[in-house]
Amino acid sequence: MSSSIFGPVIQHAFVVRDMDAALAYWIEVMGVGPFYRVDNATYREALYRNAPASPKYSVALSYWGDTQIELVAPTSDNPSIYKEFLDEGLEGLLHHMCVTVENMDDFRRSIGGSKFETLAELSLEPEGHVLYLRGAGQRWPLIEVGEFPTAIYKFFELVKTASEAWDGKDPIRTI
Q: 124-174 pLDDT, tens per residue?
A: 877 899 999 999 889 999 999 999 999 999 999 999 999 999 999 999 999
* Residue 173 within a domain: no
Strand partners, 140: none
* Residue 148 within a domain: yes
| Collapsed DSSP state (helix, strand, coil) of residue 117 | strand
* Residue 3 within a domain: no
pTM value is 0.94
* Residue 135 within a domain: yes
* Residue 175 within a domain: no
Domain count, the chain: 1
Question: Does residue 16 surpass a pLDDT of 90?
Answer: yes
d(CA 8, CA 5): 10
d(CA 115, CA 153): 29
* Residue 120 within a domain: yes
pLDDT bin (cut points 50, 70, 90) of residue 26 is: very high
pLDDT bin (cut points 50, 70, 90) of residue 1 is: very low
* Residue 170 within a domain: no
Neighbouring C-alpha atoms within 13 Å toward the C-beta of 172: 18
Domain containing 92: what range?
A: 11-164
CATH number at residue 63: 3.10.180.10
Is residue 109 within 8 Å of 20, Cβ to Cβ? no
* Residue 105 within a domain: yes
Strand partners, 147: 129
